[in-house]
Chains A and B, each alone.
Chain A
Amino acid sequence: MTDWLRRVFWFTPLRKGLTVLLVLAVVAGLSYGGYRIANPDLSCTEGVARPEEGAECVGVSGDGYAFEVPALKLVTAAIRKENEELKAGEYATVAVMLPLTSTDTGMRTKVLHEVQGAFLQQYAANHDSNEQVPKIRLVLANTGKGNQHWRTTVEQLKRMVDGPDKLRAVSGIATSSAETKDAVKELTAAGIPVIGTTITADDIANGPDGDPYPGLARVSPTNSDEARAIADFGKVDAKKAVLVQDTRPGDHYTATLKQAFADLLTGAPHEARLFTSPPDPTDEGTTPNTFRQIALLLCGTRDADTVFFAGRHTQLRQFVNALGQRPCVHREFTVLTGDEGSYLGADDQLDETALTRKVSVRYASLAHPDAWKGPGAPRTGGSPAAYKTFTDLLAKAAAADIGPIGKTSLTDGQAIIAYDAMAVAVQGIREATLASEKLELPDIGDVVTQWPQTKGPLKVEGASGWICLDNHGNPYNKAVPIVELAPDGSQRFVEIAWPDGDPPAQDCMPPGAS
């Protein structure tokens, strides 16, 4: 045996040499293997890595990487194609920060639509804007499921301000949660302009009481604006309205909605009905029981016919289901709620028969495809022309020279909102750019200063309506499409409501901003 080994591996100098090389190779391979086991390769693609083994890929990429989400493949490829046409130095980068790898079906759809909308605006900015400079490069920033890894991504975004990326704005910011709030705080503290798409929470906003997020602009109305619009739409008689509210702390969406509704119902005779959702509001929990009791209580009232619901969509669905089973089926109830109602249409567990039993669910939508379509649209506050520009672009995007960008749907309004948010970012960047022979990218601080200017003639004519920002970056009197959930799950456009009760004037100047 040893003789055989010696003959094969050690007989001639050549074999000795080869054996030494072989041993070295094996040792190197084993050490590398060991090293890899001890230090696993967490990289997903350039700029994207897993925070730990087995975790999702978190980071920033504009090179067509789809973050292992199949639905995003087409649109990321389209973005890559668009980005690759840009030459270094002539573009500014806008990041779309979203929980791209979220496993929740609703969130996935929302994310896809947002990315599609953002891309359409990028394309429009680079091709249909009369050769304005700079060009816009779009990158996707993933904060992970539930925005768990926002800190990593935010740190990365901060590094991208300088250097070849020339990051000049961050859009996206789609949910109202504590992580989102922290992320926005961190970004804005670093001087990065942030344009929120579907955050509606009041406390992720600046206001007359202070600007905790310097440089934050929003294209969605605040919860309170929504609530005001809903109230205005409902012409609510406070005496016939009941507030059903979630008491789980830490949810800015429910908190602000609750606050707005409560303000409306000051002095109303009916006591607010409370429930507490589980820590993860997408869990079913025990709330159905609570809602069954609340439905009984509603039946017990003499004249209540309107319910203001301050809660997330899972609880909303449970509540609607419970209401469908109410004993007093002869009485009509209208449930009014915030934009979470838009998720209800896609919810399998919704008891659709409830909607046929004199229960209607109406809610403030952020955008709706039918809002700016018909001839009956208001003359100010938005325009069918701007909307048509968007839908035309969308139609073109299915073709190969732009897209394809995947399956699209406008019903949930996310694409429209993301498109508009991106438009705000693009306008901000371009307005901050000095008009000169030689292109100089604007200082990131100059972009921030553009937000208060976005009004009047500089208002953004978005597909969801005009976007005129007040001095705190919030949209002034933004059109709020009220939609009703149809029994078939579709969202039927009811009408546009306005936080101020009426469409803005032609100049679209927030009061006191003149």
Chain B
Amino acid sequence: MLLVRGGTVDRELFGREAVLDGLAPRLVGLPPRGFQKVPFEHRDDLPAVVLTGGRGMGKTALLKRLHTAYRQRTPIALIDCERAEFVERPAEHALSWSPVTEALAELGDQLAPPVHGAGAVEFPRLAAGLLAVASLGWQPHDDENIVAEGLRLGLLVEPGSRWRNQTRTWLTKVVAKLAAMASGVGPGLDVVVETTVESLLDDLFNRGQRASADWYGNYPGAGGKAKRGLTLLALHFRRGSEHRVRAERHLVGALRADLDAAYQGMGRLRRVGRPVVLIDNAQAPLGRRLVEPVLRDRAEGRRDHVVLVAALRGHDHPALRHAVRRTLPEVRHELGWRRGREIASGAVAVELTPLEPEHVRQFFDLTDPRQLTHPKLARAVHRLTGGRPVGVDLLARAAGQDPHPERFTPASLLAATVTLREDREGQEVAAELLARLVPPSRLDWLTVLAPAHDVPSAEALAASRLPGEEGRTGLAAVRDVRTLLADEHWPPAPGHFVGDPFLRTLLLHRLRYGDRDFGRWRAVHETLRDHYRDRDVPRRLHHELALGVTEGAVTYLRETFPLADARVWLDELRFIASAPHFDDPDVRRPVALGRADASAPPPGSDPTLHLRIRRLLFAVWQLTDPLALPDDEVTEKMGYELGLLSELHSSGNEVLWQASRSWPQAVREWRAPAAGTTGTRGDGA
């Protein structure tokens, strides 16, 4: 998604140079472009690199970018552990199949093709192991399957039509042998495996390949005999549980041993750099089953020179507790990694950091070459997305694809359509983003719960708005959603049920526009307003504001102004003004500037103060809204009003005067105004 845009922007890295120009070349030994050599940072013992980050942080894009950069120069493979092919299959297949064997076959397939200067990589060890395992599922008279599977795995040994013919001949022989055994009582599995392995080594493999297969002599219990080792491995695989783990670990080892062998002998002269294995979505069970054997083997001293880069959703996977941690900018020049005593210390977790405003500007420069968008839009998009690459990418693309990008504010940009592929229709950006950030099954619940401030309010919402869906209670939905947010490593924030401001804004956008007459929006906010009716006035007013009712808030603020502590008052002002705003047209600016008369001040009050506080409330509402473009005039006005108010307050003169200076400054610097007692409430960018 990020960067891969028709191949025209290969050179644009957008903040990921630290990996592409720094870390990866030092590990692989080759630069991302060209045919020079890069000195290795680590000679013999390599760390496994784990890129961490939440959804949409650009992990997949970075892996794809690495794949594109090193393709054809060094053997490289990229697999996604969440792909449907790697999902665990029903029990009848599980005897001779596991996601790991599938993934290994796929990896071997991708790593095999010739690269510049060197021929194809051959995987006799891996093929032998996979064939032995596959033979567990071979039934006599099941010729077609045997031949198909055998051919596929056999090509790992040596790609080419000559080998294909040899393999076919050999498989015919195996099939005949199995058929011969099938007469009378069916053969035991061990016999089938043993026969296959023996025939494989004796009939199909040449001398060199047999020597490679001797690697299985090291299998525990093999006693140096490759045939015994292979048979044991297959039988262990069948037994399951830790036996299968051990067998799979050896199969992963076989892949790495084959790759290392390709760099020995003539390979030493013909190959430059190191082979690369890229594993996306390593948080899936398969990811762990692929990475862990590597870490264990390397910790035990069975080293290899495969550059392993995995992408892991989240930051604190339990397996990575002892991993060396780095952030993205740190790995630019040096990894500084050293193996510790723990197995996991063989991994370096590199946290992908959000994009900088400058990167966002580069995106917009790229998608909007005519420079028509509002000059503050790029920065506003950065504030909205928090620098999350997927948001920046899609929003920038949507802006670039529109014929009149000058009209966009962040709010209207969310509703714009973006066309991702020419053969597909355009999608609303917000919807597309939600599709990528949230599993579709939880999207509706999350949408409803997005305005909640904490678990009780969420439960209240769920109780009234999500009653008994799919036979669950609303409480179960809240629990479910909380688990999801925690699992996917969305950061929590006080005062918000959905902590991440970008995700929350997207969900609110969906809540608002999910139905034509905003019924759901209204219902949800009314529920919350009622929920807080007596308990928490600012929260009630917050939701009133969301519903478009402003007078209550103005009145409350005016009434509390003379009495309340200035800091508390400012906090309440900011909190109330952080209410989501989707009304069209947006009257906040004219009201803030005193150009539109919303309504007359209620009788019996100080009309000047009432109007002043109303203007201030609307100004703060507009300026802190991540979906609005901040306005210089409104910013000035906010400072001005605060300054005037400071003179009217009995005890909070100093606080209000400070706020009159610091708040406009903060807005100009794209920060959240923060001068209250509690600091930010997690709603700023």
- Residues of A whose CB lies within 8 Å of any CB of B are 3, 6-7, 10-15, 17
Q: Complex Cα distance A13/B269, Å?
A: 5
Closest CB-CB distance, A11 to chain B, in whole Å?
5
For B268, the chain A residues whose CB sits under 8 A away are 13
Q: Which residue of B lies closest to A7 (CB)?
A: B35
Pick the most buried of A7, A10, A12, A17: most chain B CB atoms within 10 A of its CB.
Answer: A12
Interface string of B253-272 (1 = CB under 8 A from A): 00000000000001011111
Cross-chain contact of A15 among B33, B34, B36, B117 (Cβ < 8 A) = B117
For A15, the chain B residues whose CB sits under 8 A away are 117
* A12 close to B269 (CB less than 8 A): yes
* A12 close to B272 (CB less than 8 A): yes
Q: Judge whether B116 is part of the interface by a CB distance below 8 angstroms.
A: yes
Q: Which residue of A lies closest to B33 (CB)?
A: A3
- Tell me the interface secondary structure of chain B in the complex: loop
* B35 close to A6 (CB less than 8 A): yes
24 contacts between A and B (CB under 8 A): A3-B33, A3-B34, A3-B35, A6-B34, A6-B35, A6-B36, A7-B35, A7-B116, A7-B117, A10-B35, A11-B35, A11-B116, A11-B272, A12-B117, A12-B118, A12-B269, A12-B270, A12-B271, A13-B268, A13-B269, A13-B270, A14-B269, A15-B117, A17-B269
For B272, the chain A residues whose CB sits under 8 A away are 11-13
For A10, the chain B residues whose CB sits under 8 A away are 35
Q: Which of B80-137 contact A (CB under 8 A)?
A: 116-118
Closest CB-CB distance, A3 to chain B, in whole Å?
5
Cross-chain contact of B270 among A6, A7, A14 (Cβ < 8 A) = A14
For B118, the chain A residues whose CB sits under 8 A away are 12
Pick the most buried of B34, B35, B116, B266: most chain A CB atoms within 10 A of its CB.
Answer: B35
For B117, the chain A residues whose CB sits under 8 A away are 7, 11-12, 14-15
Interface string of B269-312 (1 = CB under 8 A from A): 11110000000000000000000000000000000000000000
Closest CB-CB distance, B544 to chain A, in whole Å?
65
Q: Which residue of B lies closest to A16 (CB)?
A: B269
Closest CB-CB distance, A383 to chain B, in whole Å?
84
Q: Complex Cα distance A10/B34, Å?
A: 11
For B36, the chain A residues whose CB sits under 8 A away are 6
Q: Complex Cα distance A43/B34, Å?
A: 52
Q: Which residue of A lies closest to B34 (CB)?
A: A3
Closest CB-CB distance, A334 to chain B, in whole Å?
93
Q: Which residue of A lies closest to B36 (CB)?
A: A6
Given contact pairs A6-B36, A14-B269, a sample of 16 additional A-B residue pairs in the complex whose CB atoms are under 8 Å apart: A3-B34, A6-B34, A6-B35, A7-B117, A10-B35, A11-B117, A11-B272, A12-B117, A12-B269, A12-B270, A12-B272, A13-B269, A13-B270, A13-B272, A14-B266, A15-B117
Q: Complex Cα distance A17/B269, Å?
A: 9
For A14, the chain B residues whose CB sits under 8 A away are 117, 266, 269-270
For A3, the chain B residues whose CB sits under 8 A away are 33-35
| Minimum-distance CB pairs A-B, first 6 | A14-B269, A12-B117, A6-B35, A7-B35, A13-B269, A11-B35
Q: Which residue of A lies closest to B269 (CB)?
A: A14
Pick the most buried of B266, B268, B269: most chain A CB atoms within 10 A of its CB.
Answer: B269
Q: Complex Cα distance A239/B36, Å?
A: 106
Closest CB-CB distance, B270 to chain A, in whole Å?
5
For B35, the chain A residues whose CB sits under 8 A away are 3, 6-7, 10-11
Q: Complex Cα distance A10/B35, Å?
A: 8
Closest CB-CB distance, A5 to chain B, in whole Å?
9
Q: Which residue of A lies closest to B271 (CB)?
A: A12
Q: Complex Cα distance A6/B33, Å?
A: 12
Q: Complex Cα distance A333/B565, Å?
A: 161
For B266, the chain A residues whose CB sits under 8 A away are 14
Q: Complex Cα distance A11/B33, Å?
A: 13
For A17, the chain B residues whose CB sits under 8 A away are 269
Closest CB-CB distance, A361 to chain B, in whole Å?
86
For A6, the chain B residues whose CB sits under 8 A away are 34-36
Q: Complex Cα distance A129/B555, Å?
A: 152
Q: Complex Cα distance A6/B36, Å?
A: 7
Q: Complex Cα distance A87/B272, Å?
A: 64
Interface string of B576-596 (1 = CB under 8 A from A): 000000000000000000000
Q: Complex Cα distance A15/B33, Å?
A: 19
Q: Complex Cα distance A3/B36, Å?
A: 8
Q: Complex Cα distance A6/B35, Å?
A: 6
Closest CB-CB distance, B5 to chain A, in whole Å?
24
Q: Complex Cα distance A449/B270, Å?
A: 78
Closest CB-CB distance, B146 to chain A, in whole Å?
39
Closest CB-CB distance, A111 to chain B, in whole Å?
63
Q: Complex Cα distance A10/B37, Å?
A: 10
Q: Complex Cα distance A431/B436, Å?
A: 118
Q: Which of B552-580 contact A (CB under 8 A)?
A: none
Closest CB-CB distance, B492 to chain A, in whole Å?
49
Q: Complex Cα distance A3/B72, Å?
A: 14
Closest CB-CB distance, B542 to chain A, in whole Å?
60
Closest CB-CB distance, B533 to chain A, in whole Å?
71
Q: Complex Cα distance A15/B34, Å?
A: 16
Q: Which of B517-551 contact A (CB under 8 A)?
A: none
Q: Complex Cα distance A171/B36, Å?
A: 74
Q: Complex Cα distance A233/B118, Å?
A: 96
Pick the most buried of B33, B266, B271, B272: most chain A CB atoms within 10 A of its CB.
Answer: B272
Closest CB-CB distance, A401 to chain B, in whole Å?
60
Q: Complex Cα distance A12/B262, Å?
A: 14
Q: Complex Cα distance A235/B624, Å?
A: 149
Q: Complex Cα distance A14/B272, Å?
A: 10
For B34, the chain A residues whose CB sits under 8 A away are 3, 6
Closest CB-CB distance, B11 to chain A, in whole Å?
14
Closest CB-CB distance, A17 to chain B, in whole Å?
7
Q: Complex Cα distance A17/B266, Å?
A: 13
Closest CB-CB distance, B670 to chain A, in whole Å?
42
Closest CB-CB distance, A16 to chain B, in whole Å?
9
Q: Complex Cα distance A3/B73, Å?
A: 13
Q: Complex Cα distance A7/B116, Å?
A: 8
Pick the most buried of A11, A14, A17: most chain B CB atoms within 10 A of its CB.
Answer: A11
Q: Complex Cα distance A465/B223, Å?
A: 104
Q: Which residue of A lies closest to B30 (CB)?
A: A11
Q: Which of B167-206 contact A (CB under 8 A)?
A: none
Closest CB-CB distance, A1 to chain B, in whole Å?
12
Q: Complex Cα distance A14/B266, Å?
A: 8
Q: Complex Cα distance A12/B29, Å?
A: 12
Q: Complex Cα distance A133/B266, Å?
A: 67
For B271, the chain A residues whose CB sits under 8 A away are 12
For B269, the chain A residues whose CB sits under 8 A away are 12-14, 17
Q: Complex Cα distance A256/B392, Å?
A: 117
Q: Complex Cα distance A252/B34, Å?
A: 83
Q: Which residue of B lies closest to A18 (CB)?
A: B269
Closest CB-CB distance, A10 to chain B, in whole Å?
7
Q: Which residue of A lies closest to B272 (CB)?
A: A12
Q: Which residue of B lies closest to A17 (CB)?
A: B269
For B270, the chain A residues whose CB sits under 8 A away are 12-14
Q: Complex Cα distance A12/B37, Å?
A: 9
For A13, the chain B residues whose CB sits under 8 A away are 268-270, 272
Q: Complex Cα distance A7/B266, Å?
A: 18
Q: Complex Cα distance A14/B265, Å?
A: 11
Closest CB-CB distance, B683 to chain A, in whole Å?
50
Q: Complex Cα distance A14/B33, Å?
A: 21
Q: Complex Cα distance A53/B116, Å?
A: 50
Q: Complex Cα distance A3/B30, Å?
A: 13
Closest CB-CB distance, B376 to chain A, in whole Å?
41
Closest CB-CB distance, B362 to chain A, in whole Å?
25
For B116, the chain A residues whose CB sits under 8 A away are 7, 11
For A11, the chain B residues whose CB sits under 8 A away are 35, 116-117, 272
Q: Complex Cα distance A13/B35, Å?
A: 12
Q: Complex Cα distance A3/B270, Å?
A: 18
Q: Complex Cα distance A14/B116, Å?
A: 12
Q: Which residue of A lies closest to B266 (CB)?
A: A14
For B33, the chain A residues whose CB sits under 8 A away are 3
Q: Complex Cα distance A438/B33, Å?
A: 85
Pick the most buried of A7, A10, A14, A15: most chain B CB atoms within 10 A of its CB.
Answer: A14
